[in-house]
Chain A
Amino acid sequence: MQAHAETRTVAFEARNVSKSYPGVQALDDVSLTGYAGEVLAICGANGAGKSTLARMLAGQELPSGGSIAISGYDGSIDGPADADEAGILLMHQEPVIIDSFTVTENVWLKNLSSADKVRPWGIISRKKADATRAALHAVGLDNVSLGRLGSDLGPGLRQMLALSRTQVNPHRVLLLDETTASTTEEHFKDVLALVDRERAEGVSVVFVSHRMPEVFAMADRIAVLRNGKLVDVVRTSETTPAEVMTLMIGEAVSALESPAPLVSTAAPVLEVEGLSSGSADNVSFSVRPGEVVGIYGLVGSGRSSIARSISGNQRRDSGTVRLHGRPVSPKSPRDALRLGIAYLTEDRRREGFVKDFTNGENLTLATPHLFSRFGVINRRRESRRVGEMIREYQVKGGPSTFTRTLSGGNQQKVIIAKWLEARPDLVLLDEPTKGIDVGARLNIYQIIRALADDRKGVVVITSEAEEALMLCNRILVLRDGRFVGEHHPADSTTDDLIRASLGGDIA
């Protein structure tokens, strides 16, 4: 063991790297070394700083403190161009595929900027066709024709297409940032084979993920981040998923006890029957007042479609939705709000708040009628209530601070407060803690539980099993648009949920 360790060559070294954003210390004094011919997994809960670390290695963000050194590259990494030069290849969680480009052009995308390698804008010489096919073959895309457009490919294929660039772009370090989040089991095997080949060729592979089965299938070593700090680096052969999970989550989990199943005979707030919309396929469920129902599933399983179609954000193909026993079909979020349905979006930046609005303006956006008469805003009443809301939800920053300058957690508090001001009976929360640091997370969990205590019906959509178990009375697991099981926190583990959502064994 010792002898083996000494023969390893260092591929990259992060020394005392820190990164801070306003209100959030994303990374705190992290030192980490990657070796050639080794797969290093970086694990952590959402908001632990793992993607920040990956983006910094790839030169997409610059550290606030510390430095990153790449073996065989003398300069410092000051931008993506330097990272390219140093031989670092980053695969994003959302694959970078240009919809209007053909498969070939997408394979060679990174080379299109330099005309001497490939002639720009689609005039890729025919000699390259063989190389393109070989690259596609390496990632299991033998059946994809070279002339198809990026827009024709599904999410799984897009990811594999992006991965094919590993074959045409020479690199020393390969960063996979949650790259397997939307791959199917079949493609996952291709990814695995690809990673094995990379390792054999002496590439240093960094795999960023919080999915234990995939991490244990791939990695030689596992670095665990929590709350921006490097907690530990362990060898995969000497640990277990449970151990890593504990390192990832730490003490934060025990702060909230898992709720018991709700014993209630009250009439349901929400009854959904045979709902089909987007990728959701004929789903039925109900929510009683005071109950938090979790919908757990992978990206693309149709989770958001369910909530969006109930709340008038998306068209419903079929099925009935009853609110307090009365069939409803809101055509817009405005309709839904009038009926007492609030939907907290997954996409905070796009749909959550207005970017040029202050906290005060965002907080009252959904409920102007409470602060106005004949369409004229009563500013005194508005600012008094805004002040109360900011204190009540512990939002950092004052009424005239722009919401966009806040941290994710505080933005989320503003958005939640905005919705709750409308006193909805049913609250649908789509990934309420996505990209939010641990401290603010607990705060948001408490707000959600308080909603249930207030006899509202609550639906929480999440892709984090721990979160579902911590927060919900009942968890419905969604796979490929259908519910495949109902779990209770008392007698289920994260493993049960993950297994159910993946549809059997992986790893």
Chain B
Amino acid sequence: MTQTKQTSVALDAPGTKRGIDRGALVAWAKEQYPLYILIVLLVIAGFATDAFFTQRNLTNLILQASVIGIVTLAQFIVVLTGGIDISVGSVVGLAGVMSAGLFSGASVPTAILVSLVVGALIGSINGYLVAFRGLEAFIVTLGMLAFARGLVYAFTEGIPVTPAADNFRGIATATVAGFPVIGLLWLGIAVGLAFVVRRTVFGRRIYAVGSNKEAARASGVPVKSTLLGVYILAGAMVGFAGFLLASRVGVGTPTAGSLYELDAIAAVVIGGASLVGGKGRVFGAVVGTLIFAVISNLLVLLNVSTYLQDAFRGALILVAVFLTTVQFAKRRKVTKLV
């Protein structure tokens, strides 16, 4: 039983700068279960149907994965603090219809701003209740889930909202060298978020709060404002995802984003983050999203019935949750040795 394998690449000892550190690489590779799952899935997909590895299908896959991918990133930072946000789907819907409908959706920049503000505002309410009133994130965001979706129906009266701007679909349909812009936006946000959580004081605090709130507070970490910041940031990201979804569809649909919370939470967990908080990487959340997208895509290509597709996705969530218990058992053994 060695304890020395418990290394992290976060802080290398001075003097290991030159070349690629093989030990760190091996340690990194050992933790990339989600990546291996994704690779295996891609191989299976390639053998299962010729239609998978086509430009058309892959573009389609990226388009579908991008919006939920951004929502997953938002979910990821909330989960990192040990919280959970089940209102993301409703906020996607609310931000979508508001950006398409408010100011009659005449200008794209305004629409983006509206979606960001709506998301951040809802995030700040969630964050205030969780951080400053000490309420359970699950209950708070459950209420918000119903509230925001209710607002969507009140605002649209159940009818899709058509924006006035001609170029409303512009962002979602544009490509750069054949790659969809919406996918690049997802990638850009992922890289930016990775920088925030790994390289900034704010990010360090997120991990500290998620891992051990008491220790963080006792060490001078502003726990409450860190939590509030996380929920606002997550809200803004979800809001932006709502705009992108409306932009892709071309209208603000009242039912948009329904059940996104399930996919987002499942993708975060499959990506290796711990629902208890304090553990997980942005890269994992991205891979988790892709795993989900590939499976959904494959089921469609293989003409699996829509009803069965839902069952598949549900089963995947159960498997993901099961996998976390396996990780838990491993961790418990380690702590017992201490």
Contacts and interface: CB of A to CB of B under 8 A. Distances in A.
Given A333-B220, A402-B6, A350 B215 contact: yes
A372 B200 contact: yes
Interface stretch (A206-214, A275-283, A380-388, A492-500): A380-388
A313 B218 contact: yes
Given A21-B337, A368-B201, A357 B12 contact: no
B338 A360 contact: no
Interface in B194-233: 199-202, 204-205, 207-208, 211-212, 214-222
Interface of B: 3-4, 6-14, 199-202, 204-205, 207-208, 211-212, 214-222, 278-279, 334-335, 337-338
Contacts of A334: 217, 220-222
B308 to A, nearest CB: 39
B134 to A, nearest CB: 15
A351 interface: yes
B205 to A, nearest CB: 8
A408 to B, nearest CB: 9
B201 A384 contact: no
A377 B334 CA distance: 30
A365 B219 contact: yes
Contacts of A22: 3, 337-338
A401 B338 CA distance: 13
A16 interface: no
A383 B3 contact: no
Contact of B208 (A21, A354, A384, A405): A354
Contact of B10 (A360, A418, A422): A360
A404 interface: yes
Nearest to A347: B214
A205 B132 CA distance: 51
Contacts of A153: none
A102 B202 CA distance: 46
Contacts of B216: 354, 365
A368 B204 contact: yes
Contact of A398 (B9, B13, B204, B279): B13
B199 A357 contact: no
A186 interface: no
14 contacts: A21-B338, A332-B217, A353-B215, A354-B207, A355-B212, A356-B207, A361-B207, A368-B201, A369-B201, A399-B11, A401-B7, A402-B8, A405-B337, A406-B338
B13 A377 contact: no
Interface string A380-422: 0011101100000000001111101110000000000010001
B14 A387 contact: yes
B332 to A, nearest CB: 12
Nearest to B216: A354
Interface string A427-460: 0000000000000000000000000000000000
Contacts of A269: none
Contacts of A350: 212, 214-215
A387 B11 CA distance: 10
Contacts of B201: 368-369, 372, 375-377
A358 interface: yes
A365 B221 contact: yes
